[in-house]
Amino acid sequence: MPLDATPAPLVGETACDVLIIGGGPAGSTAATLLAEKGRTVVLLEKDHHPRFHIGESLLPLNLRIFERLGVQDEIAAIGVHKPGARFVSDEHGKHTAFSFAAGLNQDYTYSYQVRRSSFDEVLFHRAQTAGADAREGMRVLDVALDARGGHRVCARNEAGAMHAFRPRFVMDCSGRDTVLATAMGSKARNPHNNTAAMYGHFRGVAPFGEAEDGNITIHLFDEGWFWMIPLPDGVMSIGVVSNPGFFKRRRGEVRDYFLETLRAVPSVARRIADAELVSEVTTTGNYSYASKVMHGDGWLMAGDAYAFIDPVFSSGVLLAMASAEMGAEVADTWLDDPARAAPMARAFEAKVKRAIGSLSWLIYRINTPVLRDMFMEPRNRFRMREGLVSLLAGDVHANANRQLPVLAFKAAFYALSLAYRFGYRLGPQGLTKAAPRALAPAE
């Protein structure tokens, strides 16, 4: 699977048990766990840490993996305590906060907001201390998969020299680079959620309330949503996610369109009135996608290398690390017994798809009036609110009895959708005949 035809001198050939493409959260997690099992692991990262990356808001279920990796104290030291998530709607003129402590899973009741440059560096160094041969400045250019004859991976360093590797197992954790899926032609855009984003870092953003409380704040607007993530040192990460039509209306510089968009939503404009943009404005397109295949004989994809979904519920890092954790178990088993690993790989794929599906159900509906009303007027009948909080916390692998409140929430959504067809909407007094709502800053 040649990814770059540029010839370069070949420097040696390195044999290893597992080669991992990408030194982000997924790759570093898998490398640490496999190295701790005594496997020889090569981890190749194209950039150098620390490097900028988006995806700065973590979920409570990340904490379990931090504990397993032994990095919980380091993450706490670089993070802003995150007790939950706040949703704001100017259409409704109100906001709702969801505390993770109110969820069904009481083992993990908070999380962190982090600069990904620092977070990814902690995880990469952890892989090195575990014994992985973790190399930076190594861009993978060619992957030839052949489990029986031997895989061959070629990467180029910054000096232009080519390095060849002969791993027994290959894990693609390359994130949105999707190295294997791109080479295989298996990457497909998600037809249900074709979104893009603009984002940047600000200083001097006003807190939503009297003081900054650490929550991620999601500001809803007609064509999508904004994130506001408090980071260390008084910096706020702000981004807007919307549809292609919204971005096609841009005339002029991206920076100007971004600031214009922020100022057009009253609750957002109030918060950035005295703020200073302290970074470049970045755009990312084709936000949601998935590969048609996820694993094969002696290889698999984990994290964003397999699929990426809209980040409205901050699930990216958790899905990446959890899938890498499960993928590492598959790889470790395959190295000893490929036949025994085959059903594990199928179960791994099913579990990842089920987790993505649980979050996607909400994501596909976040712009509908029904779901937005349910967020602004949350009810806890049949423990629906607790079930929703658990989904927001990343508890997507919960057992069946924990899923019952989630099923109740979905049933309520479908019932309300039917009521809306007849002109009713959910409000503070329950279902009432719909009336226009004035657009005003949500306080």
Q: Domain for residue 75, yes or no?
A: no
CATH number at residue 164: 3.50.50.60
> Is the pLDDT reported for residue 438 higher than 50?
no
Q: Are strands 152-156 and 276-277 parallel, antiparallel or unpaired?
A: unpaired
CA angle 375, 379, 380 (to 5 degrees): 125
Q: Domain for residue 441, yes or no?
A: no
CATH number at residue 210: 3.30.9.100
Label residue 7 by pLDDT band (50, 70, 90): very low
Q: Round the average pLDDT of the chain to a whole number and report it.
A: 90
Q: Domain for residue 85, yes or no?
A: no
Q: Domain for residue 94, yes or no?
A: no
Q: Which domain holds residue 398?
A: 365-433
Between 392 and 234, where is the model more confident? 234
pLDDT tens column, 11-25: 678 999 999 999 999
Task: Determine contact, residues 82/113, Cβ cutoff 8 Å.
Answer: yes
Tell me how long the chain is.
Answer: 443
Percent of the chain surpassing pLDDT 90: 68
- pLDDT at residue 6 in the model: 45
Question: Among residues 330, 359, 388, which one ends one of the domains?
Answer: 359
pLDDT tens column, 111-142: 999 999 999 999 999 999 999 999 999 999 99
- pLDDT at residue 360 in the model: 87
pLDDT tens column, 348-407: 999 999 888 888 888 888 889 999 998 888 888 878 888 888 878 887 766 544 578 888
pLDDT tens column, 46-71: 999 999 888 999 999 999 999 999 99
Q: Which one-letter amino acid corresponds to residue 86?
A: R
Does residue 307 share a domain with residue 204?
A: no
Asked which of 72-76, 85-89, 311-315, 398-402 is least confident by mean pLDDT, the reply is 398-402
Q: Which of 339, 302, 304, 307 is nearest to 323 (CA)?
A: 302
Q: Which of 237, 36, 24 is nearest to 122 (CA)?
A: 24
Does residue 251 share a domain with residue 378?
A: no
Task: Determine contact, residues 279/201, Cβ cutoff 8 Å.
Answer: yes
Q: Domain for residue 212, yes or no?
A: yes
Q: Domain for residue 271, yes or no?
A: yes
**Number of domains present in the structure of the chain:** 3
- pLDDT at residue 400 in the model: 44
Q: Domain for residue 69, yes or no?
A: no
- pLDDT at residue 17 in the model: 98
Question: Among residues 284, 301, 322, which one ends one of the domains?
Answer: 284
Does residue 204 share a domain with residue 144?
A: no
CA end-to-end span of the chain: 54
pLDDT tens column, 317-330: 999 999 999 999 99
Task: Summarize the confidence of residues 297-306 as an average pLDDT.
Answer: 97
Q: Domain for residue 343, yes or no?
A: yes
pLDDT tens column, 168-226: 999 999 999 999 999 999 999 877 777 889 999 999 999 998 899 999 999 999 999 99
Would the CA dihedral through 332, 333, 336, 342 be positive or negative? Answer: negative
Round to whole Å and give the CA distance between 379 and 98: 12
Round to whole Å and give the CA distance between 151 and 129: 26
